Amino acid sequence: MNILLFKENETHLDKKDARSEHIRKILHLKKGDSFKAGIINGKQGVATIVSDLDGFDLSFAFDKDKSSLYPLTLIVAQVRPICMKRILREAVSLGVGRLILPVSDLGEKSYLESALYKDNGYEDILIDGAMQSGFTGVSECILAKNVEEAIMLVDSDEKLLLDNVIGANALSSLDLNGKSVTLAIGPERGWTERERKIFIGNGFSPCLLGSRILRTETASVAASALALSLMGFI
């Protein structure tokens, strides 16, 4: 963790809180010490430990405004929850603004029954990714029943469908500078012809990340990093 994030008005950490464990065992801090901290999707600065008798009581001093996320939206088809955790964590670390997670035609419907999606469990993964990045911005995450519902949530300058079957232009060859972008990334078994037609019918342009067939989590990270570079952010 390169920053510890807190909810608005949160000034006490229970000793069993993972952040308390990090302060005690990794940072080796005590009363009077300070560390880099911020408010989720808010300002950042430092937190100072004012008491360490039962967990930690903290005071805050903020000197930086909210850290902005980038205008990149990922539509990522549902995959195994353990893989989706990696995708969510890495996406927010990179600064992806929004994630939309539809169930694809070939996807396993039972994935949505995972603990990851119950009681917004994915929010902890997103916050963990933000703390790794050292910034306060946490990506918006939306669940969608299918690709049709996901597409209805998109309003970007450039809409791209990553697909090794019909992809024409290489993602690396596109001019994305100054544009908002949506990338649609399929499940392990790929998009169906029905889904491809829906994407293309709604203004998505097929493109290739490369000739190799990648896992969804690998493609998500690689495509996000490349797109953000082409957009002029990294």
Contact 59, 86 (CB under 8 A): no
- Say what percent of the chain tops pLDDT 90: 81
Mean pLDDT of the chain: 93
Q: Rounded mean pLDDT of 36-41?
A: 95
pLDDT tens by residue, 64-116: 887 789 999 999 999 999 999 999 999 999 999 999 999 999 888 888 778 88
Final residue belonging to a domain, choices 64, 91, 111: 64
- For helices 81-94 and 216-230, the axis angle rounded to 10 degrees is 10
Contact (Cβ atoms closer than 8 angstroms) between residue 49 and residue 39: no
Read off the pLDDT of residues 19-31 as tens digits, 9 standing for 90 and up: 999 999 999 999 9
At 191-223, the pLDDT tens digits run 999 999 999 999 999 999 888 888 999 999 999
CA distance 123 to 129: 10
Q: What is the CATH number of the domain that holds 147?
A: 3.40.1280.10
Domain count, the chain: 2
Pairwise CA distance, residues 29 & 20, whole Å: 10
CATH code, domain carrying 28 = 2.40.240
Among 184, 197, 186, 137, residue whose Cα is nearest residue 158:
184
The predicted model scores a pTM of 0.91
Same domain as 76, residue 117: yes
Same domain, 107 and 77: yes
Q: Please work out, in degrees rounded to the nearest 5, the angle formed at the alpha carbon of residue 51 by the alpha carbons of 50 and 56.
A: 105
SS3 percent helix, strand, coil of the chain, rounded to 5, is 35, 25, 40
Q: How confident is the model at residue 167 (pLDDT cuts 50, 70, 90)?
A: low
- Is there a single domain that holds both residue 136 and residue 205? yes
My answer on whether 136 and 221 are in the same domain is yes
**Domain co-membership, 98 together with 17:** no
Residues 22 and 79 in one domain: no
* Of the candidate ranges 45-49, 144-148, 213-217, the one whose mean pLDDT is the lowest: 213-217
User: Binning pLDDT at 50, 70 and 90, where does residue 188 land?
Assistant: confident
CB 47 within 8 A of CB 37: yes
Q: How is residue 82 written in tokens?
A: 């353990």
Residue-range definition of the domain harbouring residue 106: 70-230
Residues 173 and 193 in one domain: yes
Is residue 36 domain-shared with residue 60, that is, in the same domain? yes
Among 7-11, 13-17, 104-108, where is mean pLDDT lowest?
104-108
Place of tokens 């469908």: 161
Confidence band, pLDDT 50/70/90 cuts, at residue 123: very high
Residue 98 neighbours by CB under 8 Å, 6+ apart: 69, 72, 73, 74, 139, 140, 141, 142
**Of 12, 46, 64, at which residue does a domain stop?**
64
Same domain for 13 and 107, yes or no, is no
Q: How far is CA 130 from CA 20, 95, 136, 144, 160, in A?
A: 17, 8, 6, 23, 25
